[in-house]
Copies of this chain bind each other. A is one copy, B any other.
Amino acid sequence: MGSDFFSELRSSSPVQDYLQHLHDLFQQESAGAVADYIPELFKANPDWFGISMVTMDGHVYEVGDTQIPFTIQSISKPFVYGLGLEDHGRTDVLKKIGVEPSGEAFNSISLRPETGQPFNPMINAGAIAATGLVEGSSHEIKFDRILRMFESYCGHELAIDDAIYRSESSTGHRNRAIGYMLRNFGILGEDPTPILENYFRQCAISVTGKDLAVIGATLANAGVNPVTGRQAVRSEYVENILSLMGTCGMYDYAGEWIYKVGMPAKSGVAGGIVAVLPGQLGIGIFSPPLDDRGNSVRGIQACHKISMDFNLHMFNVPNSTGSIIRAVYHGNEVSSDRVRPLDERGFLKEAGKRILIYELQGELNFATAEIVLRKINEAFDSFDFLIINLKRVLHMDESACKLFYSLFLRARGMNKRVVFTHSGDHRILRRCFRHHLNEKDKNIPSQLFIEDAASALEYCENNLLLGHSGSYGGARSSNINQHEFFENLKPDEIKRIQPLLKPMSFEADALIVQAGSEADEIFLLNKGTVSVSVSLPDGRQQRLATFSPGVSFGELALGGSRSRSANIYADESVECCSIALEDFHEFCLTHTEIGIKLMQNVLRLTASRLDSANKAISALA
């Protein structure tokens, strides 16, 4: 791409512009010839040229003739082989069809002389053997399964081009010869004729350039069609399909293709090419003129240029394992949403160091989990509680689960607790733990998985407090003299303000303060806990904080807030006192010294919450 490409922008999308530019560039190419071994294929217009690209979030780019139907031909081969893998498993399939590149042309017979095993499923012999592997109680049902599979890949119904099918069938003598050779060696266990008819039909399935891009994106997305979200092939076989496309997908041009373009790909004699950049993109190209190896001329040119211009070679993989750890901090840097009384805060300010929190992100596989485990193991003496936050982990594989299981075992052996948060999207983790523990007749320990990160941190804090003083929070009740609101006041000063205190009690779940209501009182919490929450657009309540006995709430009213910004509910049976704002102001005017002390207390509480918030910002950023 010359940098001149950027001198004018035609649309809001530079990728759309680029593909248009590419299309313009190669449209004039006149090399190659439309396949003519059957007359129907030769009817294709050599000017047809479509480029499509589909991203992992299912966005479709299209330029040119991406909606013209053509027959899938050899592009069907790796996918039908994939169905064979689903039906029989790798071991049995490998006995019948090899996976070595033959270095020979697509229509060579290429059977191993002793066994009759086709070299690989991308040559006709291997592809016919693969069609023979598809299960079904009749040949119609077998073909129907093949067609349904392609419909899953494409995301819509597909049809057979009947003229092409009949023409392929009536001229397919060489393939019939191959079929009987396969029968002779026992690679096909039954009459090859109906298998060959299914093979001819599968090659005559009608697709478009856009379809090929979606098919490619489905393989890139571990077998899940990114447009429909539907699984087209079991993900464990995607690596095998891609391996074959990588080593044998482009006939005797496969080595050079991988060397130069670097994407597993498959071409067909009707002019289609599907190329896959695993985890990133699918590309579909349609242009009928072929080179003498049977690959679309414009298809090769366009894929080569896209790959060069955007560094899309599959082995262009920089180290990105370093981004797995999003943040590491301790329970003294970030607190749970629970607002605790002074003495508990003081204790956790120091003891919170024994809670270690790892926030992970991206892809948890062997290499990234290894880094996380190594770093945690280095810090093993420094924590009693370990929280592993999986909220931003997009995908977790079994090897990562196994490594985390070994971490859990080590921690348990040393009386340390591990808590995983946000594991709801990673059922594989729970399944792995359950599996290993069941083998030893053990259950998953309670609180190993806590969905919400704040609850996990609160759980660890509570356990630190329990270990320290035997109780915490709502279980204690606070003496009014020890209330943070009255800090620095002498007992007789507290006595003077006491007449203003109005005792109140609430049942569990009672609404104490309603968002939007007038902020006209301050609350001192004596027993039980209350939670601050806001209503989400969907009606659910999102908890923001929990308050323990000994703390005040609603005190920002003193700064002049007119109305409440959130709801406050009683978590359990609650006892508290309220002070009316009006009374408080009046009191301050007559008891100036006490008033100033109280304002100072509120300011100090607010400043300390500001300080915690700033610390949390540094830890998160």
Contact = CB atoms under 8 A, between A and B. Distances in A.
Given A222-B319, A311-B397, A596-B589, A247 B254 contact: yes
Contacts of A323: 361-363, 392, 394
B55 A370 contact: yes
A351 interface: no
A172 to B, nearest CB: 26
Given A322-B57, A361-B323, A366-B312, A12 B377 contact: yes
- 3 smallest CB-CB distances across A and B, nearest first, come from A613-B613, A280-B367, A14-B406
A248 interface: yes
Contacts of A609: 610
Contact of A362 (B59, B252, B362, B367): B362
11 contacts: A12-B377, A103-B103, A239-B313, A277-B367, A278-B317, A279-B367, A314-B314, A322-B394, A559-B606, A559-B607, A606-B610
A317 B278 CA distance: 6
Interface stretch (A149-157, A296-304, A432-440): A432-440
A596 B593 contact: no
A399 interface: yes
Interface string A88-107: 00000010001111111000
A15 B439 CA distance: 22
Contacts of A559: 600, 603-604, 606-607
A189 to B, nearest CB: 23
Interface string A522-539: 000000000000000000
Number of copies: 2
Interface string A365-409: 111001101100100100000000000101101110011011101
Contact of A247 (B247, B399, B402): B247
A100 B255 contact: yes
B403 A318 contact: no
Given A363-B320, A398-B311, A3 B435 contact: yes
Contact of A614 (B222, B278, B377, B613): B613
A595 B1 CA distance: 70
A592 B600 contact: no
Chain A, interface SS category: helix
B380 A12 contact: yes
Given A12-B377, A278-B314, A280-B365, 8 more contacts: A6-B402, A220-B319, A222-B317, A240-B259, A559-B607, A585-B596, A592-B592, A617-B617
Contacts of A178: none
A575 B609 CA distance: 31
Interface string A323-343: 100100000000000000000
Contacts of A406: 6, 9, 14, 17
A596 B588 CA distance: 8
Contact of A367 (B281, B380, B399): B281
A11 to B, nearest CB: 9
Contact of A617 (B7, B488, B560, B613): B613
A6 B436 contact: yes
Contacts of A616: 617
A75 interface: no
Given A100-B252, A100-B254, A246-B246, A279 B621 contact: no
Contact of A607 (B14, B398, B606, B617): B606
A407 B11 CA distance: 11
A258 B3 CA distance: 37
A56 interface: yes
A517 interface: no
A262 interface: yes
Contact of A1 (B94, B101, B259, B402): B402
Nearest to A312: B366
Given A100-B256, A603-B559, A604-B559, A321 B589 contact: no
Contacts of A55: 321, 367, 370-371
A101 B247 contact: yes
Interface string A558-588: 1111000000000000000000000001001
